[in-house]
Chains A and B, each alone.
Chain A
Amino acid sequence: AQTVTQSQPEMSVQEAETVTLSCTYDTSESNYYLFWYKQPPSRQMILVIRQEAYKQQNATENRFSVNFQKAAKSFSLKISDSQLGDTAMYFCAFILNTGNQFYFGTGTSLTVIP
């Protein structure tokens, strides 16, 4: 069975500071993609960052970067220079290369404090 665990239901960070959101997952497969999605108050789901499991190099998108530890099945998201617009629910997710179903975590609600 495939599972995704986000152990931090809520987090807060001061504007301009750095915050890390945790995610662990479980699968017996070796080929998959990992994602972080953001859902702001508008409730539109937005892709933040994507990582191919076969790549050792951590993905980076501007202020967003991940720490991918395949052996530990860990996929944390680091947000640098936090901005008020980063306030949102963040969901960790993955999909197997062999399938088309996305598995989502329960989400972490992030609040950026001015």
Chain B
Amino acid sequence: GAVVSQHPSWVICKSGTSVKIECRSLDFQATTMFWYRQFPKQSLMLMATSNEGSKATYEQGVEKDKFLINHASLTLSTLTVTSAHPEDSSFYICSAEDREGLGKLFFGSGTQLSVL
């Protein structure tokens, strides 16, 4: 199956700093990528849809100035958590849809963010 690489897998940062998470589709082109947030033992919560070459679409309640998304190429989307605070600590997962595979969604391995 298609591979989505997400980096870093784990990051600890001080409150007030910014953290960038990368999501790459390694063997297919992804015009659309998705960013999810997952709290312990809960389902995935869609944060935003990242479209190559255009602005991301954010879900209701997600601060676009807090969570900056850039999808500059067909294989790379980045999520930057700006001025991170402890309440931003969470597991973040990216995914990319392989249109060649007719609607299959492939996930990165996730990033555990801990803000001190």
Contacts and interface: CB of A to CB of B under 8 A. Distances in A.
Interface of A: 33, 35, 37, 42-47, 50, 52, 89, 91, 93, 95, 97, 100-102, 104-107, 109
Contact of A102 (B34, B91, B109, B110): B34
Interface of B: 1, 32, 34, 38, 41-44, 46, 49, 91, 93, 95, 97, 102-107, 109-110
Contacts of A91: 43-44
The dominant DSSP class at the B interface is: strand
A44 B109 CA distance: 5
Contacts of B44: 45, 91, 104
15 contacts: A37-B107, A44-B109, A45-B107, A47-B105, A47-B106, A50-B104, A91-B43, A91-B44, A95-B103, A95-B105, A101-B34, A101-B46, A104-B43, A105-B43, A107-B43
Query: Sorted from nearest, which 5 A-B pairs have the closest CB atoms?
Result: A45-B107, A33-B103, A106-B43, A44-B109, A104-B43
